[in-house]
Structure 1
Amino acid sequence: MEIVYVKDGRYDEYENLLMERDRYRKEAQAIFRQYIHEFGEQITAVFKQKISCIEKKKMLSYCMMYFNRGESVDMTEVQKLIKHDMAEYQSQLNDMIANNEACKDMKTIPESEVLKIRQIYRRIAKKLHPDLNPLTEQHEELMDLWLRNLTAYQCNDLKEIEEVEFLVDQALAALGEGKTTVTIPDIDDKIENLYKEIEKIKSTDPYLYRDILSDDSLIKEKKQALENELNEYIEYAEQLDQQLKQFIVEGGTFTWTS
C-alpha cells in the first residue's frame, strides 16, 4: 500500500515538528534516566525516611484518638488502618526502587548508531505515525508496530527498530495494493499546539535536569541538599519516636523497625 499525503503549504512544517517533538520527548526521557542514575538512590532514601515519618505521625494520631476517648489502643485495628493509609506511599516507593534498578546500568552507544536509529524511526514515522496516518489507529497490527517502534527508538535499540521497519513494510503490503490518500485536517491548529508542546518540554523537568547534570558543582550541591534533607527526616523521626513512647500498648512500648 502506498500512502499519499495531500500536502498544503505547511505539511512539511507539520511533519518536521512531529519528529522534533518526538526527539525532545526522547531526550527528556534520557535525561530523566541519567538523573535517576546520578541521584536515584539518595532520592529514594529521602522518600523512604519521609514515609516512615508519615507512618509514625499516623500512629501517633490514632493513639491520641484512643487516648482522648479513654480507651486502650487496639493495635490490630491501628495497624490495619495505617497499612491502608500507607499503601499509595509504598507503591510510589516500589516504583522508585524499580526505576533505580532500571537506570543503574546505563549503556553508551556510538553516535553513528544513534543517528541510524533516528533515521529508521523517521522512515517508519512517515508511514505509521498516528498523527500522519489514520490507518494506524484503525488496524491493531499497525498500532502494535508503531508502539514497538516508539519503544525501540526511546531505548536506542537498533536491532529491534530494524526488525520493526521490515515488519511495517510487510504489514502495509498485506493491506493491499493501491494508494491511500491522507489529508491533515486543522493543520494550522495542530502546528501551533506542537510548538507549544515542544516549548513546554524544553522549559520543564525532566528536560531542565540537564543543567544540573552538565555541571559538577551543581551535582555536588544537589547531593549535599539530599543528604541534608535525609538527616532532617531522621531527626524528625527520632522526635516522633519520643512522643510515641508515651503510649503503652498491652504492656509494651512501640518499637519501630522501618
Structure 2
Amino acid sequence: MVAICQVERNEVENLDKEIFYSYIKSNKPVVFENYSSPAIEKWTPEYLLSVVGDRDVHVNMCTFGSMSDIVPMKFSEYFNKTLKDEFPTKDLNGERIKKINKPYLRNFGMLDEFPILKEDVRNNEGIFNKDIHQMVVMGTFIGTKDSATNFHKDTGENLVTVVRGKKFIVLIAPSDEKNIKSKLSHEIEVKFDSNDFGSPIEQHPAFSDCSKVYTTILTEGQSLFIPLGWIHYVHNIDTTISVSCWGKEMIM
C-alpha cells in the first residue's frame, strides 16, 4: 500500500515572487489557502453567460491527445448543460461513462478573448519572473461534475486557482514517474470516496511501487502550485471553474 501525503498548505495572504519562487526552487507543490479574487463573487452563471454567450468552444470528451474527442458547441449550451448536470452518464451501449470521458472544457482562452473577465482574477502572470519564465500563459477550465483528467504532466510551472466548485487532485513527484504502471493508471479509475467508482489511491495497483503519492482537495479561493514535471490527476467533484497560469522557460 503506497504512502499518502497531504500537500503542504500555506496561509500567506500576500503571495509574492520570493515566496512563490522558493517553492519552484524546491520543486514542491503547495496550496495557497488565501488566494481569493473578485471572480469568486462576480462570476455567477448569469454573468458568464451574458459575457461569453454563444461563443464557439471545443469541449474535450475528455482523454488527452485525440482530436476525435473534441466536440464543438456553443459556450451557452455547454455551460447550461453542465450547470443542470444534463450530459449523459451512460454511453450508447448502456455502459457507465468513465470520469475521464466526461465533458470538460479545457484551456479555454476566455480571459484573452474577454478582457473584462481578466480584470476579475488575480494577476497570476505577475507572480512569474519574466527574466526566468519568459512565456506566461493563462487558460480557463470548466469541468462537469465528476469529470477528470488522465494522469499527465504540464509543460510549465502551473498555478491553478479555483473560482467555483471543488477538485480532488493527486500528484506524484518526478522521481517516482518510473514507478508508475501507466497502463493501469489509465484502465482503473481513481476512487475519491465511497460513492465513487474505481480503486482508492492508496490501494491503486498503478502506484504500488511509488514511494509516496500526494493528494489535496482544492476549493474556491484556493490555489495549487504544481511544479514542472510532477504527474497529476484532477477530478472535478462538482461543477468547477478554475484558471491555470503556466510559467515556461524558453530555450534561447
Structure exhibiting the larger radius of gyration computed from Cα positions: 1
**Normalization by structure 2: what TM-score?**
0.25
Structure number with the higher strand fraction is 2
Which has the higher relative contact order, 1 or 2, with Cα contacts under 8 A spaced 6 or more apart?
1
Structure number with the higher helix fraction is 1
**Normalization by structure 1: what TM-score?**
0.24
